[in-house]
Amino acid sequence: MSAVTQTGWSTGEIVKHTILILGALIVLLPFYVMVTYSLKSPAEIAQNAGGVFGSQDPMTDERCVARNQPVRTDVEAARPQFPELDDSAILGRLMAEVEASCQVTPAIYNYTTAFTEAPLLRYMLNGVIVTVSIFFIQVLVALPAAYALAKLRFWGRQAVFTLVLFCLLIPVHAIALPLYIMLAQLGLTNTYAALVIPWTISVFGIFLMRQFFMTVPDDLIDAARMDGMSEFSIVWRVMLPTAIPALLAFAIFSVVAHWNDYFWPRVVITGDRNLFTPPLGLRDFRSTADGSFFGPMMATATVIVTPLIVAFLLAQRRFIEGITLSGMK
């Protein structure tokens, strides 16, 4: 604020950047660990060697070796190739061949294992199915309700809005237990429905959209009515297009919350791997993995975390808007 505009790096500026850089290092530490471990061999992880990207020296894939272990028939089939050797020597030769064919680069090993040892693609697909269904149903329910609460006059409207405000106080995770009991009684645990149903109603979405619709001039709606539009088509053909920016922000808010959600899937999905969402899959991977699986596990974590991070980096402003839009209250 001083009248003299400063240029260059003053002491204060250097101190500020030092603090900010230190903070950034702590924030980035786990991301660094995740990515760097996902590139390293088990030996490198255990010895804390290999620098940032690992040495990428070929390593032996023990599982591959175990899978291709030469058996009796292999030895017999190989006899004509090595007439001068006895069986145990042939076995040794075949083992060497298998081991040689099972040499892989750690990075490739980690990432392929992540996808082959567990149905990671399936988890990702489930994540997409669940987040997309949740978002669409939320909009389908919230948009007309928000329009009615903002623009239509009917008896009991205020009561409904009061109920919405009350429901804003209820965190869905907190009532997970009774919800779980209800779904269990209906036989719906371990289904996609169980993953989606509790989130179909977003009171926050209703509230947000209502506040947004309040700012839309009544004249626009009256003009649509004069053009002969039904209330139904006003919602989807007039209000929806005007609400695109708010909807986009809400979409980001919703997708981020449900892609990353772990608690609810953990409650209602027990055992059926085909229904696992990405965080559940990662946890499952972890509980079954032994120490040598650190690399593939970090690869899994990287794969799960990457889509949102990349999307965030590409559209930062929108993401921050979306995630913080709860601040509009």
Partner 1 sequence: MATSEAAAKKAGYAFVAPALFLMAVILILPILLAAGLSLTNYSLGNPGFEWVGADNYERVFTRSKFEKMIYATTVYVAVVVPVSLALGLGAALLINSVRRFGDLYKTIYFLPVMAALLAMAIVWEFALHPTIGIVNEILESGCWITPLRWWPWYDAACEEGFPLWLGDKRYSLGVVIFVGIWQAFGFNMVLFLAGLTSIPRELYQAAEMDGARTGWDRFRLVTWPMLGPTTVFVITITAIRAFQVFDIIEAFYPIGAGPSRSAFVAMFAIFETGVQQNLVGLGASITIVFLAFIMVLTLILQRGVEKKVHYA
Partner 2 sequence: MASITLSTITKSFGETPVLRGIDIDIADGEFLTLLGPSGCGKSTLLRIIAGLEGQDGGDVAIGGRVVNGVRPSARDLAMVFQSYALYPHLTVERNMMTPLTLRDLGLIERLPLLRHLVPGHRGRMNDIKVAVRETAEILKIEPLLQRKPGQLSGGQRQRAALGRAMVRKPAAFLMDEPLSNLDAALRVHMRSELAELHRALGTTFVYVTHDQAEALTMSSRVAVMMEGELLQLSTPEEIYDNPEDLRVAEFIGSPKINTIPGEIDGAGRVTAQGLRLQRLAPVTDGKVTVAIRPEHLEPVEHATPEEALGVTVVHKENLGADVYLHGVLESASLPEPLRIVARALPEAAARYGVGDWAAFRLSRGEAMVFGADRRRMRLAPAAAEPLAARA
Site for partner 2 in 1-60 (CB under 8 A): 1-5
Of 106 and 144, which CB lies nearer to partner 1 in the complex structure? 144
In the chain, what are the helix, strand and coil shares in percent, each to the nearest 5?
A: 75, 0, 25
Write down the least CB distance from residue 258 to partner 1, Å.
11
The Cα angle at residue 285 between residues 284 and 291, in degrees rounded to 5 = 130
Say how far residue 261 (Cα) sits from the centre of its chain.
8
Interface region with partner 1, contact rule CB under 8 A, candidates 54-62, 83-91, 102-110, 282-290: 282-290
Of 91 and 277, which CB lies nearer to partner 1 in the complex structure? 277
Of 5 and 287, which CB lies nearer to partner 2 in the complex structure? 5
Write down the least CB distance from residue 1 to partner 2, Å.
8
What residues between 68 and 107 interact with partner 1 by CB under 8 A?
A: none
Which phi and psi angles does 59 have, rounded to 5°? -125, 165
The item of partner 2, partner 1, none sharing an interface with residue 144, based on CB under 5 to 8 Å by kind, is: partner 1
**What is the size of the binding site for partner 1 (CB under 8 A)?**
95
Of 5 and 73, which CB lies nearer to partner 2 in the complex structure? 5
Write down the least CB distance from residue 301 to partner 1, Å.
4
The item of partner 2, partner 1, none sharing an interface with residue 320, based on CB under 5 to 8 Å by kind, is: partner 1
The item of partner 1, partner 2, none sharing an interface with residue 213, based on CB under 5 to 8 Å by kind, is: none
CA pair distance 91, 74, nearest whole angstrom: 8
Binding partner 1 (rule: CB under 8 A), the pick from 132, 179, 220, 224 is 179
DSSP 46-94: HHT-STTT-----EE-HHHHHHT---HHHHHHHGGG-TTS-HHHHHHHH
The item of partner 2, partner 1, none sharing an interface with residue 324, based on CB under 5 to 8 Å by kind, is: partner 1
What residues between 6 and 25 interact with partner 1 by CB under 8 A?
A: 13, 16-17, 19-20, 23-24
CA pair distance 138, 200, nearest whole angstrom: 5
Instruction: State the burial class of residue 300 (Cβ atoms within 10 Å of its Cβ: 0-12, 13-18, 19+).
Output: buried
CA pair distance 202, 139, nearest whole angstrom: 8
3 state DSSP class of 124: helix
What residues between 205 and 234 interact with partner 1 by CB under 8 A?
A: 206, 225, 230-232
**Facing residues of 283 across strands?**
none
Query: Is 148 a binder of partner 1 (CB under 8 A)?
Result: yes
Interface region with partner 1, contact rule CB under 8 A, candidates 50-58, 61-69, 241-249, 310-318: 310-318
Tell me 216's DSSP state: S
Write down the least CB distance from residue 312 to partner 1, Å.
5
Tell me 324's DSSP state: T
Burial pattern 70-108, b for ≥16 Cβ within 10 A else e, equals beeeebeebeeeeeeeeeeebbebbeeebeeebebbbbe
Write down the least CB distance from residue 217 to partner 2, Å.
24
Residues that bind partner 2 (CB under 8 A): 1-5
